[in-house]
Amino acid sequence: MRKSKRLTFFVCFIGVALLLASCSNNNSYTNKKEKVRVDSVLDPLVKHYTERFEWINSLRVLDSIYINEKDKSIWLDNIYYSYRGWVNIRLHNYLLGIKYSDSLINIIESKHLQDLVSYNYSIAFLQKGNAYLELNNYNEAYQNYFKAKQIADHHNDCIGKFYLLEDIALVLYKQKQYVGAKNNYFEALACVRTCPEYKRSYDQQTLDDIALCYTKLNQLDSATYYYKLALENIEEFRFKNLEDSNNCAIRYASCRGVVLGNWAKILFVNGKLDSASRLYKEAIYLNTYKGNEKMDAQLCQVQLAKVQLKKTDYGGMKKSLDSLDKSLNNISNAEARLGWLEMMASYYQHTKNSAMEVKYYKDYIAMRDSINLSQKGSEENTINQVLKDKEQQFEITVLQKDNQLSRVYLWVVVVAFLAVAFIAFSIYRNFVKTKQLNQLINNQKIALEKANKAKDRILNVVAHDLRNPIGAITNFLDIVQLKYEHSEEEEQILKTSQQAAEHSLKLINELLEVNQLQDGELILAKTTVDVKQLVDVVMNELKHKANAKQQTIQLQADNENYWIEADAEKLQRVIANLIDNAIKFSEKGKEVVVRLTQAENTLQIKVKDSGMGIPANLIEQLFTTSIIVKRKGTNNEKSNGLGLSICKQIIEAHTGSILVESEVGKGSCFTVVLPV
């Protein structure tokens, strides 16, 4: 029940921030007037919506108060943007939540309120981190978590630290880092108990989370101990809020239902099927009819079906699954739907209906792979390691105090970069000339094959050796720009150097990939892939590029899903290259359209723009490496001219084809045709 705990803390700390404001000289209101303001803003929210989870209604009340306030102070702005950002993220309106959190950060920084409302300042970055995490933008998520940690540590803000530790623990739990998650939950519990606003009734959620970690670590005795502590905490505070008995009963049912559902997993593992079944049924009843945790009740229904399968109670199992299906039609829950598909396949397996078993099992595999693909980026680095790395980078930057020495470093880096860039250019030029020479001199093919293989080996070795120093130069340029103040001329040198370094690194990677494809090293790891979901992921990743040119990306699709057998990572790379090119070669304000159509045996992916178009004499050369076609984008964006060659080889490896239609001045349309 983290949401009820968080809302209580959130409202309390808005009140604390406003009371502090009323005691300062930073605004024109007297203490009495400021107290009236606190009551007028907080009372309706606390009285009507704190424990009822009626988020939309709470926003309407807040908007009404905010709009009708004639003389808005910075303190009312602080409440408005804090609460609106928080609620929109709860409602999964992540981009809107980020927008309100950014507005709050701008208000705090422009009015120099960082010390006065440090809690809201830290939480704003934490909320942004949570939103970016849900959007699978892990770099931005971890950057905002790091900023929230810096603020909370600087101001010794126990509540801010508590929420940060809990969110980091939750990320670690999703990344299956259960030891790290458990340690963070223990640290969060110790942190919140040092806060003046601490109440023991806040312990229940964290105790339950600790027990979940012990369950995943198969330390079942420890897990049982903490589940019992959580239940004791729930019972102890069952009748503490009698002034609102209805909400008290809802909260009690929800908390108890969640803990019982989690505890039942241990009983199931220990073979106590009747006890597990009883707890699951009670948990489902509590949160279906009494409490608010409907999605948790759905997960318990999946677990109950597993118990009934173990007991060979196939009739009861089918009844549970039918009830769950109706619930999922009203409340979407991807994890529960995945479990439902798995259990339906198991049910038909044990009732000897092979056709239905295969149908549900295929749907289960497809959905599982799709979910795993969307979550792939979250497991590349654990959040603790990322935050530790950022902390080390920050400490290195702080230690670099000598501005004069930094200028020496700057010029050393520039000279080193120019040397590396010259080598990379020489390799690239040699690569192009060698490819052209191989076409012209066919009568020396046997001798040239040996020379070409030797060249490729040297290219691979040199390119691999160049990647690390160029990457290091890019990182060092970041540090120099962030730490030191420079003249306008030096800033321009740094910016140009960093852009050139990134372009060189991309060029080296593409050269290596072209060599691998030409050597026959392309290996496909095919799975069942939802192409529409791949397009959604790519559109989200490239949204910032389109926004920078005031462009829009539109997806047109007649169906919810387009399933094919393909290598998801390589197909995603093709789609990303085509959309990126459409953005690059279109003017500001134009639209890029992605159209999915499926015939009987083929799937077509069309990417259409209204950009500069391609001259007829260049179209035949687009997909080759023998003649490199390099054109600058409408904003002078650079191009290596190798991307479409890689795309063609990936699509042909899938036994598909890629076509292009274009007219100068009117735009281009690239069509990928894949077998279904």
Domains and CATH numbers, the chain: 240-381 (1.25.40.10), 400-518 (1.20.58), 527-675 (3.30.565.10)
- Would you state the structure tokens that stand for residue 330, as one six-digit string? 């009203």
- The candidate with the shortest Cα–Cα distance to 119, out of 84, 77, 164, is 164
Q: Which of 251-255, 448-452, 570-574, 613-617 has the lowest mean pLDDT?
A: 448-452
For residue 390, name the pLDDT band (cuts at 50, 70, 90).
low
Q: Do residues 585 and 633 lie in contact, with contact meaning Cβ atoms separated by under 8 Å?
A: yes
Query: CA 300, CA 295: separation in Å to the nearest integer?
Result: 9
More confident residue, 222 or 629: 222
For residue 552, give the H/E element and its range: strand 552-557
- Would you state the structure tokens that stand for residue 103, as one six-digit string? 């507005």
Longest dimension (CA), the chain: 96
Cβ density class 496-526: b for 16+ within 10 Å, e for less: ebbebbebbbebbebbbbbbbbeeeebeeee
pTM attached to this predicted model: 0.48
Cβ density class 286-314: b for 16+ within 10 Å, e for less: bbbeebbbebbbbbbbbbbbbbbbeeebe
601 secondary structure, DSSP code: S
pLDDT in tens, 10-39: 444 444 444 444 444 344 333 445 545 555
Query: CA 121, CA 307: separation in Å to the nearest integer?
Result: 47
Looking at residue 503, its pLDDT comes to 65
Q: Which residues contact 266 (CB under 8 A, 6 or more apart)?
A: 215, 220, 223, 224, 227
Phi-psi region of 587 (alpha: psi -120 to 50; beta: other; left: phi over 0): beta
For residue 290, name the pLDDT band (cuts at 50, 70, 90).
confident
Looking at residue 360, its pLDDT comes to 92
Q: Is a pLDDT exceeding 50 seen at residue 667? A: yes
% of residues, the chain, pLDDT over 70: 74
Looking at residue 201, its pLDDT comes to 61
Cα angle value 339/275/231 (rounded, 5°): 90
